[in-house]
Amino acid sequence: MNRQCHEEEVLLGPYVLGVLDDAEAGRVEAHAAGCESCRGEVEALREMETALGEVPPEAFVDGPPHGGDLLLQRTLRQMRVERAGVRRRRQAVTGLAAAAVLAGVFWAGTAVPGGGAPVA
């Protein structure tokens, strides 16, 4: 279909929301009666309107919540502190493991039996 056939297409959203005057609404209804594509669009827009109607008003906020930037900064700082803590714990465990290996090697070297004369 050509674009001239769908001049009313830009009015489909306002039509579904019920904000058109009677003449425009009648024009859209007459067009949709003969245009399967626009009827499908109207149906899809009505489904979307129904779905959005189920969303609580609290979900639509104007901008970030009061103190939102501060909350974001605190959250990021806490994440950095926790990440640094994990890094320190990994380093401590690695250090303890290295010390245990060295202690085991030292103990094994002193516990070798046969303190006799070295073999030449």
37 and 74 in a single domain? The answer is no
Let me know whether 46 and 92 are in one domain. no
- Quote the DSSP letter at residue 112: -
**pLDDT at 87 exceeding the cut of 60:** yes
Whether residues 95 and 54 fall in one domain: no
Residue 8: what residue type? Answer: E
Share of the chain above pLDDT 70, in %: 78
What is the reported pLDDT for 114? 58
**By residue range, what is the domain housing residue 21?**
3-59
Per-residue model confidence (pLDDT) at position 117: 58
In-domain check, residue 85: yes
Looking at the domain assignment, is residue 119 inside a domain? no
Whether 80 and 52 map to the same domain: the answer is: no
Given a cut of 70, whether residue 1 has pLDDT beyond it is no
Chain-wide mean pLDDT for the chain? 80
The tally of domains found in the chain comes to: 2
Q: Tell me: pLDDT of 113 over 80.
A: no
Compute the distance between CA of residue 120 and CA of residue 118 in angstroms, rounded to an integer: 6
pLDDT digits (tens, 9 = 90+) for 8-57: 778 888 888 888 889 988 988 998 898 888 899 999 999 988 888 887 77
What pTM did the predictor assign?
A: 0.44
The reply to whether 83 and 53 lie within a common domain is: no
Reference 5, options 48, 51, 36; nearest CA is: 36
C-alpha to C-alpha distance for 98 and 91, rounded to whole angstroms: 10
Same domain, 55 and 85: no
